[in-house]
Chain A
């Protein structure tokens, strides 16, 4: 494997790379491609297919149309060429392929608060395509080829490592800065509030700190988040007005963001959950069921005072969303562990009534049996 990869690297490094590449001006213009670019596009097409085959693409038509609508608003002259795909991946990431495919991770959408913040990232990724950064950068062509080879050999990309993927399609700092500047202009032209571009990266930086994630996990080779915040702050100095589209964003992505909470919980990412849901402003973007997820995050953290915090959140979820089954289970189990049998049993019973097909039914029935005198 390593030898084949090395061969691919050597071959691609030997390939000539065009020095002066003019940006594309429209979707129609993309039919005129440099020879090296044709190969890059083919590899990207194969990668698109591999991701779809591996079941990593979320094909929800409403969500996909929504994301595509944002991209078309940002790059109207590239409508039909810049294709947005939603990835079922929780890492905070987005990336563009040389053929105009732009992938946005569900985890990224879950972390932003409004459409303008998401548009910031999409405008940036679109700029990588329109300005043909992949062709300009020999190193990137090399990495793309190597990755495509891996895909070709294995049949599926190493999709467990979507974070690694971004580094394989990473761009130089110079290209990143150019994409920032172009993306910012697109954000303005599309009528979004440019100040949200700074806030988008501030959220991500807060998450990095809360979760002790090593930078650069986001966009891999991109500038450090603080540098990026500084760059967007500079670009947006004195800017005001524009649309955030918060309500539309929250309505359209509600189910996706709730599913992300589930995924975070299942992976013990309680730090991120607490960061998001303990902040009243961010919490306001979630339905009442979010209290349950915060309660579970406190339970997983398990610090002093957390059991009481968890219980309060479970009770809040039960009160605000009575048909939602999970908090009955969570509270019932907490009381079970505490030895409060009389209070635990009806909660666990009610959980099973609300969720008769619960995957943990066996465990709950087992505990209920133990509660029966």
Chain B
């Protein structure tokens, strides 16, 4: 079949455009707002996945080289590996403990090393900052930082991951600035 009909061709192009999975983060689109919940300023120059079903996912040079995930889940959403839930009374170190258990139960990160596990703030609320390193299946060291917190609505986690060589340090400042921009909104 050939696409001779201009309407068919137009429809195809339109549908392809609609399927484009990435959108560049620019000054007009950098503020991500979840109504009555939180807002965050995404780093300029990164690209954002248009599929937001599992949260916000952005990358600068490709998911294998740097990736940031923002996830917001209600407390009753079970963590996939440990099958545990969170609650509003959890202290930051308890959230860290659960997060590490979840990662340790995942094959890829089972042998992780904790570089630091420290108190932090997110949107002015007590949070935890976890920094880990693991080796992927090719032996490449990968570093991950997560800043997370719980509140009455659920858990919010910002996670940055990149190869430990060059890439992690190169884009860490973007992540830190993004985390500092989080504003929690009252309903």
**Using a CB–CB distance below 8 Å, which chain A residues touch chain B?**
154-156, 158-161, 266-268, 333, 336-337, 359-360, 362-363, 366-367
Contact = CB atoms under 8 A, between A and B. Distances in A.
A156 B138 CA distance: 7
Nearest to B87: A302
A156 B134 CA distance: 14
Interface stretch (B66-74, B105-113, B165-173): B105-113
A162 to B, nearest CB: 9
Interface stretch (B7-15, B90-98, B174-182): B90-98
A268 B119 contact: no
Contact of B104 (A267, A337, A363): A267
Contacts of A360: 93, 117
B117 A161 contact: no
Interface majority SS on B: helix, strand, loop or mixed?
mixed
A333 B138 contact: no
B137 A363 contact: no
- Sort A-B residue pairs by CB-CB distance and give the 3 closest, nearest first: A160-B107, A268-B101, A362-B118
A303 to B, nearest CB: 13
B80 interface: no
B82 A268 contact: yes
Contacts of B114: 359
B101 A266 contact: yes
Interface string B30-69: 0000000000000000000000000000000000000000
Contacts of A336: 91
Contact of B91 (A156, A158, A267, A337): A337
B84 interface: yes
B111 A160 contact: yes
A155 B119 contact: no
Contact of B138 (A154, A161, A359, A367): A154
B119 A366 contact: yes
A148 B66 CA distance: 31
Nearest to A329: B93
A6 B6 CA distance: 45
Given A268-B82, A268-B98, A337-B89, A158 B107 contact: yes
B91 A268 contact: no
Contacts of B116: 362
A333 B97 CA distance: 14
Interface size class for chain B?
20 to 34
A167 to B, nearest CB: 14
A367 B117 contact: no
Contact of A363 (B93, B105, B111): B93
Nearest to B114: A359
A212 to B, nearest CB: 10
Contacts of A267: 101, 104-105
Nearest to B84: A268
Contacts of A363: 91-93, 96, 117-119, 128
A333 B111 contact: no
A267 B135 CA distance: 19
12 contacts: A156-B135, A158-B137, A266-B104, A267-B101, A268-B98, A336-B91, A359-B117, A360-B93, A363-B92, A363-B93, A363-B117, A363-B118
Contacts of A154: 137-139
B105 A367 contact: no
A333 B91 contact: yes
B117 A155 contact: no
A266 B111 CA distance: 12
Nearest to A212: B83
B19 to A, nearest CB: 27
B82 A161 contact: no
B132 interface: no
Contacts of B82: 268
Contact of B107 (A161, A366, A367): A161
B184 interface: no
B156 interface: no
B2 to A, nearest CB: 34
Contacts of B104: 266-267
B86 to A, nearest CB: 12
Given A268-B82, A333-B93, 14 more contacts: A154-B137, A154-B138, A156-B137, A156-B139, A158-B137, A160-B107, A266-B97, A266-B104, A268-B98, A362-B118, A363-B93, A363-B117, A363-B128, A366-B92
B118 to A, nearest CB: 4
Nearest to A55: B111
Contacts of B97: 266
B100 A266 contact: yes
A173 B170 CA distance: 54
A30 B71 CA distance: 57
Contact of A155 (B84, B110, B139): B139
